[in-house]
Amino acid sequence: MVGSPFEQFEIIPFLSFGSLGQNFAITNSSLFSLIVLCGAAGFFSFATGEARVVPNRYQVIGEQLYVLVADVIKDTVGPRGAAYFPWMFATFSIIAFANLIGLIPYSFTITSHLAITLGFGMATFIGINIVAFREHGLRFLLFFVPQDVPVALLPLLIVIELISYIFRVISLSVRLFANMLAGHALLKILAGFVWGLLSLGGLLALAHIAPFVGIMAVTVLELGVALLQAYVWTVLCCIYLNDALHMH
């Protein structure tokens, strides 16, 4: 029987530790988080470990990803954004690798869990606010005060600006989580549909060709979405960083 399309998102403990087993265990989520971290670090170490003037395919991929993030920072934040390149490149790489590894059959997509993406979002949000107050001190609070508005409307608009600012972390987290969850659920539903047609046999088994082609198309689409979501995350982080540095 074909399981629920949301079965793939269940967190399963692999290893518990004695009396701590009720509170501490290695799960598929923590295991694949480590795999993603090691995979990203290992790939870039391998791609750039023996850099050449004429690069091989892995070095080209690594350099193009480097240039992609550097250009986003330069175009969005300006020259001052170069100091924050390691942070942006690290988050881009980890999210991209997490999304891509999640496309491998029988793997686990850590970015399909809101707790994970919210953790990334909160860390980014806190870091940007630290940068903002380090650069401007308490003057950064003026960011929430709209210019050239009637005094009577000022308190209401300040509250709206503050709520909008806080919801940035939701914007970062939910967008990534929802796209990964929906895409993988769709793949599971289509796979179950194809398996159901195959199990019927006869002429109906031939009808699986159309949904099978659909699975291939959705898989290619998910591959693009996996990279696009990492890119969108980086762009949004750069926009928020630009606000923190320049108070635009």
> pLDDT means per 10 residues in the chain (248 residues)?
65 69 74 91 86 81 92 92 92 92 86 89 92 90 82 85 89 88 79 67 59 74 88 93 85
What is the predicted pLDDT for the residue at 186? 79
Is residue 1 in some structural domain?
A: no
What is the predicted pLDDT for the residue at 231? 94
Read off the tokens for 84: 């924050």
Is residue 63 in some structural domain?
A: yes
Is residue 166 in some structural domain?
A: yes
Is residue 2 in some structural domain?
A: no
Read off the tokens for 16: 């518990």
Closest CA to 94 of 104, 105, 86: 86
What is the predicted pLDDT for the residue at 241? 93
Question: Contact 242/76 with Cβ under 8 angstroms?
Answer: yes
SS (H, E, C) 228-241: HHHHHHHHHHHHHH
Distance CA 183, CA 227 (A): 13
Distance CA 122, CA 173 (A): 8
Closest CA to 182 of 234, 245, 135, 226: 226
Read off the tokens for 177: 């989580």
CB within 8 Å of 130: residues ≥ 6 apart = none
Is residue 140 in some structural domain?
A: yes
Cα R_g (the chain), whole angstroms: 22
Reported pTM: 0.84
| DSSP state letters, 17-69 | -GGGGGT-EEEHHHHHHHHHHHHHHHHHHHHHTT--SS--HHHHHHHHHHHHH
Is residue 17 in some structural domain?
A: yes
Is residue 18 in some structural domain?
A: yes
Backbone phi, psi, residue 227, to 5°: -75, -35
Distance CA 95, CA 228 (A): 10
Q: What angle do CA 119, 116, 163 make, to 5 degrees?
A: 45
Q: Strand 25-27 and strand 13-16: pairing? A: antiparallel
Domain span including residue 79: 7-246
Domain count, the chain: 1
Is residue 238 in some structural domain?
A: yes
Distance CA 50, CA 45 (A): 9
